[in-house]
Copies of this chain bind each other. A is one copy, B any other.
Amino acid sequence: MPAMHQGLSERLICLHDEIKSDGDLTELSRVAVALYDERTDIIKTFIHSSDSESPLDHSSAKLASLPSLKELALTGGRRTINDLEAVAESGQEHAGRLVSCGYLSSYTVPMGSKGQFVGFLFLNSVNKGFFTPKVIQRLRPYAELIAQVVMRELDTVRMMHAAVKVIRQVSTVRDEETGAHLARMARYSRLIATRMADRHGLSDEFIEYLFQFTPLHDVGKISVPDHILFKPGKLSPEEFEVMKAHVVRGLEIIDMMAFDFGMHSLAYFTVLRNVIAYHHEALDGSGYPHGLRGDEIPLEARIAAVADVFDALTSERPYKTAWSNQRAYDLLLDLAGTKFDPDCVAALIDSRHDISEIQARFEQTVFD
């Protein structure tokens, strides 16, 4: 069998081509997948294959604010809109953006896995009235196929998280990385990346994987003994060497898993490796383990570093009280350009409204 190492975006484009090769379906002009984050009720664009312009990059919304989609998520029903212009005229914003890019009809399928709603598949055509019963019948296996391909890929990431959780528990190392810290830090990273997306050309697919991978940044800490990990004062040079080793150990663990989990076939596996390897580097070269400088540090690691430190500052720890957000923003601004990427810091602070909401949502919950 020929090897396949494509990202999901490329897979979706191939599947879209395959659908259009069916004589009755050549006018299917757009296939898009949005994913749902149950814990914040946010539905967010993920990947798409669009024949004409893409109308909806970097979009997200609370599912509760979209009653007709929420209904589909609850019931598993499908929605056919054969005249998007009429809907757009009634003031619906997303419909307006679709129409402005030439898409005139839409068919929406909720995706579920093991009884849980995970997102939507959106199909569009430039033809009004495209989604006839016959076309819908013909599309059915393709819609299921796309859902399976997407969910299988997401399974891989979910299972890595499960494995790391079990490893943490079995290794009996107490854990500073509480669930709430990881849940917040992943969402701060997503906020920062979304704000930087246009300027840095970040795809929604990249942003989603960054969100999913950042909670694994400290997996190597299971190799650091408690008396070093939780030492209140400054570490001795020897202790600091042990602490630094958690980065390398984290890479070893991830690489061990990578082959059997099929991670090497994930186009974004390097994002995970970079987050683990470089989240303690600093812009001026004073970080560890490599002392990289500036752009030598991959963007995903610069984002994770800001998200990680901001959450550590604003959290209570055994040895410190929680700082106010403002005090933490001020420190990050002081260190922007020397330790932290100024763009990442600015993107974080520009998201202050969303950050407060995340803090309220994940105050004391556990990331399980």
User: What is the interface of chain A, defined by CB distance below 8 A to chain B?
Assistant: 1-5, 18-19, 22, 73, 76, 110, 112-117, 137, 140-142, 144-145, 148-149, 151-152, 155-156, 158-159, 161-163, 165-167, 169-171, 222, 253, 256-257, 259-262, 264-265
- Whether A4 pairs with B115 at a CB distance below 8 angstroms is yes
Can you name the residue of chain B whose Cβ is closest to the Cβ of A249? B170
Does B161 contact A260, Cβ atoms closer than 8 Å? yes
Q: How far apart are A132's CB and chain B's nearest CB, in angstroms?
A: 15
- Majority SS at the chain A contact face: helix
B162 touches A260 (CB 8 A): yes
- CB of A220 to closest CB in B, whole Å: 10
Q: Which of B112, B115, B155, B264 contacts A156 (CB 8 A)?
A: B155
| CA–CA, A149 and B152, complex, Å | 9
Identify which of B76, B144, B265 contacts A145 (C-beta below 8 A): B144
Interchain nearest-CB distance for A167 vs B (Å): 5
Considering the chains assembled together, what is the distance between the CA atoms of A76 and B4 in angstroms? 13
Question: Are B18 and A162 in contact (CB-based, < 8 A)?
Answer: no
CB-defined contacts of A166 to chain B, threshold 8 Å: 163, 167, 253, 256-257
Taking CB atoms, residues of chain B closer than 8 Å to A117 are 1
User: Could you tell me if B257 and A162 are in contact, using CB atoms closer than 8 angstroms?
Assistant: yes
A259 surroundings in chain B (CB, below 8 A): 162
The complex places the Cα of A5 from the Cα of B163 at a distance, in Å, of 22
B148, B158, B260: the one contacting A149 at CB < 8 Å is B148
Which B residues touch A115, using CB under 8 A? Answer: 1-5, 265
Asked if B1 and A110 sit within 8 Å, CB to CB, the answer is yes
Chain B residues with CB below 8 A from A152, complex form: 148, 151-152, 155
State whether A162 touches B2 (Cβ < 8 A).
Answer: no
Contact of A18 among B76, B140, B159 (CB under 8 A): B140
Which residue of B has the minimal Cβ distance to A168? B170
Q: Is the CB of A260 within 8 A of B114?
A: no
From A141, which residue of chain B is reached at the shortest CB distance? B141
Q: Kindly list chain B residues whose C-beta atoms are within 8 Å of the C-beta of A4.
A: 112, 114-115
On whether the beta carbons of A262 and B114 are closer than 8 Å, the reply is yes
Contact pick for A148, options B22, B73, B145, B222, CB 8 Å: B145
CB-defined contacts of A156 to chain B, threshold 8 Å: 155, 159
**Chain B residue nearest in CB terms to A21:** B137
Cα–Cα distance between A18 and B140 once the two chains are bound (Å): 9
Contact across chains for B261 and A222 when beta carbons are under 8 A apart: no
Q: Which 3 A-B pairs have the closest CB atoms?
A: A162-B260, A3-B115, A1-B112
Q: A161: which B residues are within 8 A, CB to CB?
A: 260
16 further interface pairs, Cβ-Cβ under 8 Å (given A1-B115, A144-B145, A170-B170): A1-B73, A2-B115, A22-B137, A141-B141, A148-B149, A155-B155, A155-B159, A155-B262, A156-B159, A159-B260, A159-B261, A162-B163, A165-B256, A165-B260, A166-B167, A167-B170
Q: How far is the CB of A264 from chain B (nearest CB, A)?
A: 8
Smallest Cβ-Cβ distance to A151: which chain B residue = B152
Decide if A162 touches B1 in the complex (CB within 8 Å).
no
Look across to chain B and name the residue whose beta carbon is closest to the beta carbon of A140. B18
